[in-house]
């Protein structure tokens, strides 16, 4: 766990971690395949502007670990948030930013299923040439940048939800998200865990209780989806978010 002072320092540490991972992935495989959460994580991405000259943006492929089924210019769009925070101003080719198909999202109701199918098709088209498959046949992203909710959800995988047990699809529709809007698409838990590295950012007092629960108790019963992430999992935690940990 990397402990930093505050939200700005979290964003800086995130930018450093992403720049390093991007350089290494491009050296080894010629591409950096990254997938992003929404919410506060998207805002922290803005710090990557400082790295602009060092990053080979044209080698990036960007997906979203979850997306709300809304138009891109909607306040709720995770793609829109990341465009405003970063991608509107750096030179990733637009066709390499894999937003959900907004034409399927004129209305939120009924959009999740066709959106998830189309988004999974986009991802399948890149495998295995651009994004490798692991021995279980799952795409291996170089890095996922994850947030988590105060309830412990990651992506749009919510506590005790049946989707947590889904082992077939890569991109799953959810029509009953407890956090609005109800219809969204999300990476499955196996797809999350297949990624080479996962970075969690925990910033602010609102995340303190859940940060301690995930890192110190790590319940495996599905009540805290963030505790089910395995493999190379890195944490960037600021003082406020660490304040309820026993050893903080």
By CB atoms closer than 10 A (0-12, 13-18, 19+), residue 7 is middle
Rank residues 57 and 148 by Cβ distance to ligand 6PG and give the closer one.
148
Token couple for 29 = 């495989």
Of the candidates 132, 120, 113, the one whose C-alpha atom is nearest the C-alpha of residue 63 is 120
Sign of CA dihedral 73, 74, 79, 81: positive
- Of the listed pieces 38-46, 99-107, 121-129, 226-234, which binds ligand 6PG according to CB under 6 A? 38-46
Count of residues binding ligand 6PG (CB under 6 A)? 13
CB of 179 to ligand 6PG, least distance (A): 5
Subset of residues 49 to 68 that bind ligand 6PG, contact rule: CB under 6 A: 66, 68
Per DSSP, the three-state class of 66 is: strand
Rank residues 55 and 157 by Cβ distance to ligand 6PG and give the closer one.
157
Subset of residues 175 to 204 that bind ligand 6PG, contact rule: CB under 6 A: 179
Angle at 158 between CA 118 and CA 247, to 5 degrees: 130
CB of 226 to ligand 6PG, least distance (A): 10
CB-hemisphere CA count at 13 Å for 31?
A: 15
By CB under 6 A, residue 39 contacts ligand 6PG: yes
Binding site for ligand 6PG (CB under 6 A): 37-41, 66, 68, 78, 147-149, 155, 179
């Amino acid at each position: 766990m990397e402990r930093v002072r505050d939200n700005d320092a979290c964003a800086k540490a995130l930018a450093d971690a992403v720049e390093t991972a991007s350089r290494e992935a491009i050296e080894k495989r010629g591409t950096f395949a990254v997938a992003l959460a929404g919410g506060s994580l998207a805002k922290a991405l803005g710090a990557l502007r400082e790295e602009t000259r060092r990053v080979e943006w044209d080698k990036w492929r960007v997906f979203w670990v979850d997306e709300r089924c809304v138009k891109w210019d909607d306040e709720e769009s995770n793609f829109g948030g990341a465009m405003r925070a970063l991608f509107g101003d750096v030179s990733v080719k637009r066709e390499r930013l894999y937003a959900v198909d907004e034409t399927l999202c004129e209305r939120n109701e009924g959009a999740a299923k066709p959106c998830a199918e189309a988004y999974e098709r986009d991802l399948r088209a890149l495998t295995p040439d651009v994004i490798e498959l692991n021995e279980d046949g799952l795409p291996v992203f170089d890095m996922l940048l994850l947030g988590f909710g105060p309830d412990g959800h990651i992506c749009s995988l919510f506590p005790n939800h049946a989707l947590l047990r889904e082992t077939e699809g890569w991109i799953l529709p959810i029509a009953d998200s407890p956090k609005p809007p109800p219809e969204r698409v999300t990476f499955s838990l196996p797809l999350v865990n297949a990624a080479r590295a996962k970075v969690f950012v925990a910033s602010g007092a609102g995340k303190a209780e859940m940060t301690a629960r995930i890192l110190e108790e790590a319940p495996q019963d599905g009540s805290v989806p963030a505790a089910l992430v395995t493999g190379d999992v890195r944490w960037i935690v600021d003082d406020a978010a660490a304040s309820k940990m026993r050893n903080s």
